[in-house]
Amino acid sequence: MEKTKIALVDDHLLFRTGLRTLLSAQPGFEVCGEAGDGAAFLALLAAGPFPDVVLLDIDMPHMNGIEAASRALDAYPDLRIVTLSMFGEEDYYFRMVSLGVKGFLLKNSDIRDVVAAIETVRDGGSYFSQELLRTLVSSLKSTPQPGEGEETLSEREREILLLICKGLSNNEIADQLFISKRTVDKHRANILAKTGSKNTANLVVYAIKHRLVEI
């Protein structure tokens, strides 16, 4: 079975070394490249091999994660990026999601969360650590946000939206609500359309920003 290729982009060599060691010990994972800043990351993509998932730091010298993600996704729209962040960088999350980033992990995450994020994003999903979601909600509590979209969602759609924000798959939502996956698929498509969200990551941030859910 072909291994999942992962690129690590972070300016701290010690952090990259530790993460590479942990990921290399996971069955089916291979760290295919590393970079210490955004410019080196873009060169890495051009040189290959092309990664299945990128773990990308936000705060880096020369070219930060936001600019690097923007340029990388312009050139490679199907690139799957998981952002690595620290507490206090919440202001950047909305910008990163608008660029097309697929997931967020705090740098103090357990390796099990890192593995879950890589596998979820590799398979086409989006991943937000629950600790990060709670941090986002907390950071927005004191800031008035528009309630745009609140009246347009039905009670069932809001229920499904909450479960999406908690990281459940469509199959898991169907099992929990005792409805068919096809019904969940339809509700999910309606929620995306009503909120103007392009993907699940956009939807999660939209829902939190507009206080449509409480995590």
Q: Are 20 and 99 contained in the same domain?
A: yes
Give the CATH number of the domain where residue 99 resides. Answer: 3.40.50.2300
Tokens of residue 129, six digits: 């650590």
Interatomic CA distance for residues 9 and 37, integer angstroms? 7
User: 139, 163, 186: which is the final residue of a domain?
Assistant: 139
Q: Are 174 and 87 contained in the same domain?
A: no
Query: What pLDDT is recorded for position 70?
Result: 94
Residue 97 falls within a domain, yes or no? Answer: yes
* Cis amide prior to 49 (ω within 30 degrees): yes
Smallest CA-to-CA distance from 54 within 71, 131, 87, 135 is with: 71
Q: Are 122 and 168 contained in the same domain?
A: no
Interatomic CA distance for residues 159 and 166, integer angstroms? 11
Residue 87 falls within a domain, yes or no? Answer: yes
**Are 82 and 102 a contacting pair, CB within 8 Å?**
yes
Q: How confident is the model at residue 7 (pLDDT cuts 50, 70, 90)?
A: very high
Interatomic CA distance for residues 177 and 180, integer angstroms? 9
pLDDT one-digit tens code per residue, 101-147? 888 888 888 999 999 999 999 998 888 877 776 666 555 544 444 44
Query: What pLDDT is recorded for position 102?
Result: 87
What are the Cα distances from residue 15, in Å, to 23, 29, 117, 189? Answer: 12, 18, 18, 39
Interatomic CA distance for residues 206 and 186, integer angstroms? 19
- Residue 10 DSSP label: -
Q: Are 75 and 153 contained in the same domain?
A: no
Interatomic CA distance for residues 39 and 63, integer angstroms? 6
pLDDT, average across residues 14-32: 94
pLDDT one-digit tens code per residue, 156-184? 998 898 888 777 888 999 999 999 999 99
Q: How confident is the model at residue 148 (pLDDT cuts 50, 70, 90)?
A: very low
Q: Is the pLDDT higher at 82 or at 137?
A: 82
Smallest CA-to-CA distance from 119 within 12, 199, 29 is with: 29
- Residue 210 DSSP label: T
Number of other residues whose CB lies within 10 A of the CB of residue 83:
27
Count of the separate structural domains present in the chain: 2
What are the Cα distances from residue 8, in Å, to 22, 24, 64, 123? Answer: 12, 12, 14, 18
User: 120, 139, 158: which is the final residue of a domain?
Assistant: 139
Q: Are 180 and 119 contained in the same domain?
A: no
Instruction: Provide φ and ψ at 54, rounded to 5°.
Output: -115, 130
Residue 79 falls within a domain, yes or no? Answer: yes
Residue 159 falls within a domain, yes or no? Answer: yes
Give the CATH number of the domain where residue 203 resides. Answer: 1.10.10.10
pLDDT, average across residues 58-79: 92
Tokens of residue 29, six digits: 């994972």
User: 128: which strand partners?
Assistant: 104
Domain housing 201 = 144-209
Q: Are 61 and 125 contained in the same domain?
A: yes
Interatomic CA distance for residues 24 and 88, integer angstroms? 29
